[in-house]
Amino acid sequence: MYRSHNCGELRAAHINTEVILSGWVQKSRDKGFIVWVDLRDRYGITQLVFDEERSSKELIERAQNLGREFVIQVTGQVIERASKNPNLPTGEIEILVSKLTVLNEAKLPPFTIEDKTDGGEDIRMKYRYLDIRRNPVKNSLIFRHKVTQEVRNYLSNEGFIEVETPYLIKSTPEGARDFVVPSRMNEGQFYALPQSPQTFKQLLMVGGMDKYFQIVKCFRDEDLRADRQPEFTQIDCEMAFIEQEDILNAFEGLTRHLLKEINGVDVDKFPRIQYDDAMRLYGNDKPDIRFGMTFGELNAVTQHKDFGVFNSSELVVGIAVPGGNSYSRKEIDQLISWVKRPQIGALGMVYCRCNEDGTFKSSVDKFYTQEDLAQWAEVTGAKAGDLICVLSGDTNKVRAQLSALRMELAERLGLRNPNEFAPLWVMDFPLLEWDEDTERYHAMHHPFTSPKPEQIELLKTDPGSVKANAYDLVLNGNEIGGGSIRIHDKETQSLMFDYLGFTPEEARAQFGFLMDAFQYGAPPHGGLAFGLDRLVAILGGQETIRDFIAFPKNNSGRDVMIDAPAPIDDEQLEELSLKLNLKS
Query: Could you tell me which residues are annotated as the binding site for ATP?
Result: 220-222, 229, 479, 531-534
Q: What is the DSSP string of 133-170?
A: TSHHHHHHHHHHHHHHHHHHHHHHHTT-EE----SSB-
CB within 8 Å of 483: residues ≥ 6 apart: 237, 247, 470, 471, 526, 527, 528, 529
Give the number of other CB atoms < 10 A from CB of residue 145: 11
- DSSP strands (E only) in 296-438: 296-297, 315-321, 350-354, 360-362, 387-393, 423-427, 432-435
Q: Say if CB 43 and CB 62 are below 8 A apart.
A: no
Q: What is the DSSP string of 269-286?
A: ---EEEHHHHHHHHSSSS
What residues form the annotated binding site? Answer: 174, 220-222, 229, 445, 479, 486, 531-534
CA distance 18 to 4: 9
| Max intra-chain CA distance, the chain | 93
User: Which of these, 415, 462, 581, 448, lies nearest to 524 by C-alpha position?
Assistant: 448
- Cα 182 to Cα 169, 192, 338, 578: the distances in Å are 11, 9, 46, 8
User: Which of these, 150, 271, 237, lies nearest to 481 by C-alpha position?
Assistant: 237
- Cα 438 to Cα 176, 435, 510, 546: the distances in Å are 15, 6, 19, 34
CA distance 549 to 552: 6
User: Which of these, 524, 536, 540, 463, lies nearest to 498 by C-alpha position?
Assistant: 463
Strand-pairing partners, residue 85, are none
SS3 20: strand
How would you classify the pairing of strands 34-41 and 18-30?
Answer: antiparallel
Q: Say if CB 363 and CB 350 are below 8 A apart.
A: yes
CA distance 540 to 143: 8
| Residue 334 parent element (H or E) | helix 329-339
What residues form the annotated binding site for L-aspartate? Answer: 174, 220, 445, 486
CA distance 568 to 557: 18
Measured in degrees and rounded to the nearest 5, phi and psi for residue 20 equal -125, 125
